[in-house]
Amino acid sequence: MSEHKLNDSLDTLKKSGVRITPQRHAILEYLISTESHPTADDIYKALESNFPNMSVATVYNNLRVFRNAGLIKELNYGDASSRFDFVTHDHYHIICEKCGTIVDFHYPGLEEVEHLATHVTGFEVGSHRLEVYGTCPACIDNAAKVN
């Protein structure tokens, strides 16, 4: 995990008046170190042994604080639970339709789409989102073993 990312994120929180609690620190550290785009329940389960008095509500409240500070993105893909992504750079997601695994990828050419959209429509583009759906290698392998 990048100590630099953690320290920068903690500084961002401190500058906005957010007190750094051990739970808040652990949740942020977990988000920075994982690439799995966890749900709040995933985060709670990963940290509950270290913080037996922490509740799922504590995790949700801290995720809201991080989102408001611009440190994470909340991802909604039509299922019942949000997933959370530590924001380090603009990137996109490919999502497995079988198991729900989400993987990051970067494609700088899509920035041109924003410029084109502005030019064609006159809109001032604030952001864009790209989701690609398919079947991950693990699910492909599992399907091949069954057949």
Fold classified for 89-147: Dna Ligase; domain 1 (3.30.1490)
Instruction: Give the type of residue at 92.
Output: Y
Question: Is residue 118 pLDDT above 80, yes or no?
Answer: yes
CATH architecture of residue range(s) 1-88: Orthogonal Bundle (1.10)
For residue 96, the surrounding DSSP H or E stretch is strand 92-96
Pinpoint the residues of the chain covered by CATH 1.10.10.10: 1-88
Question: Is residue 106 pLDDT above 70, yes or no?
Answer: yes
Q: Which residue did the predictor score with more confidence, 82 or 2? A: 82
Question: Is residue 79 pLDDT above 70, yes or no?
Answer: no
Helix residue spans in the chain (DSSP H): 3-15, 22-33, 40-47, 56-68, 111-121, 137-146
Q: Nearest Cα to 70, choosing from 60, 56, 83, 85?
A: 85
Is 139 flagged in the annotation as binding?
A: yes
Question: Is residue 51 pLDDT above 80, yes or no?
Answer: yes
Is 96 flagged in the annotation as binding?
A: yes
Task: Identify the band that residue 27 occupies on the pLDDT scale cut at 50, 70 and 90.
Answer: very high
Question: Is residue 108 pLDDT above 80, yes or no?
Answer: no
Is 111 flagged in the annotation as binding?
A: yes
Is 37 flagged in the annotation as binding?
A: no
Is 114 flagged in the annotation as binding?
A: no
Summarize the confidence of residues 109-119 as an average pLDDT.
87
Pinpoint the residues of the chain covered by CATH 3.30.1490.190: 89-147
Summarize the confidence of residues 2-16 as an average pLDDT.
90
Confidence (pLDDT) at 112: 86
Mean confidence (pLDDT) of the chain:
89
Summarize the confidence of residues 31-58 as an average pLDDT.
93
Question: Is residue 3 pLDDT above 80, yes or no?
Answer: yes
Is 136 flagged in the annotation as binding?
A: yes
Question: Is residue 1 pLDDT above 60, yes or no?
Answer: no
Share of the chain above pLDDT 70, in %: 97
